[in-house]
Amino acid sequence: MSRNTYNDVPPDILTNDEDEGVVALESGSDVEFDLEANPGSVQRGTEVIRRFWTTLPNAPGVYRMLDAKGDVLYVGKAKSLKNRVGSYARGQAHSNRIARMIGETSSMEFVTTATETEALLLEANLIKQLKPRYNVLLRDDKSLPYILLTADHEAPQLVKHRGARKRKGDYYGPFASVWAVNRTINALQRAFLLRSCNDSYYENRTRPCLLYQIKRCSGPCTKEISFDDYANLAAEARAFLSGKSNAVKARITEEMQQAAEELEFERAARCRDRLAALSAIQGVQGINTQSVEEADVFALDEQAGQFCVEVFFFRNWQNWGNRAYFPKADKSMSPEEVLTSFLAQFYDDKPAPRLVLLSHDVEDADLMAAALSSRAEAKVEIHAPQRGERRQLIEYVLRNAREALGRRLADTASQQKLLVSLGQAFGLKKTPRRVEVYDNSHIMGTNAVGAMVVAGPSGYMKQHYRTFNMKSEDLKPGDDYGMMREMLHRRFARLVKEEPRLPDAPEMPRPEDDDSFPAWPDLVLIDGGKGQLEAARRALAEVGVSEEDVALVGIAKGRDRDAGRETFFKPDEPPFKMPPRDPALYFVQRLRDEAHRFAIGSHRAKRKRELVKNPLDEIPGIGPTRKRALLHHFGTVKAIQRAALEDLMKAPGVNAATARAVYDFFHDRG
């Protein structure tokens, strides 16, 4: 987040000293910019900023600095746009980072807001969306998982949820990992016997599923339990997840004792199992705290110019897990600045708990608390405790941050060495910074999927992974060469369009502290032999990418598919092998196995979707309500398919247009 300076500077006192290459104040100040990096460009950038500054209002808002290509360099918020933007051209000393940013600025854009709180929220949203180079960036922005207890069905569903909260129901979380959510849902199923199946599966059941047989569901789909009793189970689950765990356990204990007194031992055993499941949820949460009911705890550590923010989530006096983030930030920024910007982005798409504990005092803590309170529609407090149990909790989280960053630095150093050895093994002119690996998966040509995995100095870059559903009508089932050609053609055709390389433009030197990840790969690995390599080579040539732009290497499996006997192919060169104990060989095997794992997983997911796909989902205008009405009236999809138009029109909730759409869909198919 930007640092605000609130000293107004009249526009007529700023002058441009052409000879000295600085911007000074006519008032006699001899303070100059730090122009070690490209002073002429800093002067030009200052002139651009000054032109916009003269017409800015003295109001809160958000400003964006843009380079010559129109890409956003920096997003900042201000209590007063005029004061804040004027500070960039005031003649005060700037760090090299700010000087470079000013030097690259060719234009600016502004948005005024009603309050500074709105400006703070908008700034966080734009930073996550635009990813400006000079802001602190939350690089791992994958949404955290929640548990959702739905409220839009007669039989509430207990499911894992990510993303926007569009579905009606109660959301509990966040959890630090999917593993923690799955473990908790499994225990909740045993404790409350709530269904986890989707609505389509529920509507089509004619007998209880396996989860009912193993006592992890009460079977509402086939009326094994009344809806009133099922609603009571859902209410108990809702109370337990809302922090009333002792009351829920007391009721179940009382029911167990009553069942035992009435000699209903099977019912008593079910209550006993439910109590055991609830104890399992409460007993495997790691460290707990007696003074924090609901809080997120943030601790930041800095080593070697890199930052780590460790986050622990506490709900209902339980630790729901932790997660480490490694934001991208300039090494000249203070921990307080990094943590301030990180918090704004972290809560951009999720509500904050009632308490946020921090390892450092952040800038504008009161403003941040007001912004989070308005979004969560409840009071949110932000503290940096200095003593007591809460400070001990901060120290514990800080130790985890320090250890996580130490592991990452060690892994990064090892990864860099492996990339150096990989470049040497394949005779590359420079050490690769981006390596892409391609593989495909299918079963006799069905559900064909291509996969791309990406590796760099930080390891696997999973946010850059891509899958390709094969679309070509000319592709024959099982044609691995054709699949590879289509996948590479689509990937590089889009890359050439979005990130074109100028043929005669020299490669610009990167600043030492620029760890931005390139869009173009330095090395492409193909899982396959000479045929797949030739298909890839042809695909790249069709979109104008030469072997000088991207190095291509094919990996053929060894005899009997043994690891360590791989043969490598390069265009116009004889095949070769690596020494059995070469670290580069082990690295390539890991990359290939990761591509194979990702391709197989994508294929299985696609195949699973095809197996459970309901034909009614493909009919335009048929939503969940009408689909449910049709299934309730006819029983099965086959009965709907065989039904006459007049019969379809008689179904409750189905009008003539919908009946015609359903009838035409099935009969046009056949």
Residues 332-351: what's their mean pLDDT? 86
Of 130, 155, 176, which closes a domain? 130
Question: How do residues 62-117 score in pLDDT, each as one tens digit?
Answer: 999 998 888 899 999 888 888 888 888 775 667 778 888 888 888 888 888 888 88
Task: Please indicate, yes or no, whether residues 105 and 204 belong to a single structural domain of this protein.
Answer: no
Q: Is 150 in the same domain as 112?
A: no
In the predicted model, is pLDDT for residue 357 greater than 90?
yes
In terms of domains, do 36 and 88 share one? Answer: yes
Residue 419 lies in a domain: no
The pLDDT value given to residue 8: 35
pLDDT tens track for 404-440:
888 788 777 888 888 999 999 898 888 999 999 998 8
- Residue 573 is inside which H or E element, if any? none
In a domain, 155, yes or no: yes
Together in a domain, 589 and 473: yes
Q: Do residue 158 and residue 269 come from a single domain?
A: yes
- Name the band, by pLDDT with cuts 50, 70 and 90, for residue 36: very low
Among 604, 627, 645, the domain boundary falls at 604
Summarize pLDDT for 583-640 with one digit per residue, the tens.
Answer: 888 888 889 889 889 888 888 887 777 666 667 777 777 777 787 778 777 777 778 8
Domain that holds residue 441: 427-501+519-604
Helix and strand totals (H; E) in the chain: 20, 20
522: pLDDT confidence band, cut at 50, 70 and 90? very high
Note whether 117 and 42 are same-domain residues.
Answer: yes
Distance CA 371, CA 351 (A): 11
Contact between residue 202 and residue 221 where contact means Cβ atoms under 8 Å apart: yes
39/172 same-domain check: no
Read off the CATH number of the domain in which 546 is found.
3.30.420.340
Instruction: Classify residue 141: in a domain, yes or no.
Output: no
More confident residue, 445 or 4: 445
The answer to whether residue 1 sits within a structural domain is no
Chain centre to alpha carbon of residue 105:
29
How many Cα atoms within 13 Å fall on the side-chain side of residue 14? 22
Q: Alpha-carbon distance 525 to 578, whole Å?
A: 15
Q: pLDDT: is 284 or 116 the higher one?
A: 116
**String of DSSP letters for 111-169:** EE-SSHHHHHHHHHHHHHHH--TTS-B-S--PPPPEEEEE-SSSS-BEEEE-S---SSE
**Amino acid 25: pLDDT:** 26
Q: What are 477's two structure tokens? A: 């089932």
Task: Give the Å distances, CA to CA, from 442 to 341, 453, 481.
Answer: 44, 17, 13
Q: Which whole-number Å values give the CA distances from 229 to 32, 73, 193, 297, in the listed order?
A: 76, 58, 11, 39
Output the domain CATH number for residue 34: 3.40.1440.10
Tokens describing residue 217: 């569901």
Check residue 629 and give its pLDDT.
Answer: 79
Q: What gap in Å lies between CA 513 and CA 523, rounded to an integer?
A: 23
In a shared domain, residues 564 and 631: no
* Same-domain pairing of 374 and 245: no
295 touches 353 (CB < 8 A): yes
Q: Per-residue pLDDT tens for 170-190? A: 888 777 677 777 877 887 887
- Residue-level pLDDT at 63: 92
In a domain, 29, yes or no: yes
> Is residue 290 situated within a structural domain?
no
> What tokens appear for 256 in the block?
């167990």
In 3-state terms, what secondary structure has residue 364? coil
Highest mean pLDDT of the ranges 274-283, 300-309, 559-568: 300-309
490 shares its domain with 557: yes
**Rounded to two decimals, what is the model's pTM?**
0.58
pLDDT value for 282 = 56
CATH number for the domain spanning 624: value is 1.10.150.20
SS3 227: helix
pLDDT score recorded for residue 186: 81
Determine the angle formed by the axes of helices 583-612 and 388-425, rounding to 10 degrees: 110
pLDDT at res. 452: 93
Q: Are 156 and 147 in contact (CB under 8 A)?
A: no
Whether residues 159 and 195 fall in one domain? yes
- Residue 509 inside a domain? The answer is no
**Of the candidates 407, 438, 467, which is a domain's last residue?**
407
* Count of structural domains within the chain: 5
| 587 found inside a domain | yes
Band of residue 445 on the pLDDT scale cut at 50, 70, 90:
low
Cite the DSSP H helix spans in 381-525.
Answer: 388-425, 480-498
Q: What percentage of the chain reaches a pLDDT higher than 70?
A: 84
For residues 454 and 573, state if they share a domain.
yes
C-beta contacts of 412-420 below 8 A and 24+ residues apart: 412/457, 412/458, 412/459, 415/456, 415/457, 415/458, 415/459, 416/457, 417/583, 418/583, 418/584, 418/587, 419/456, 419/457
CATH of the domain at 329: 3.30.420
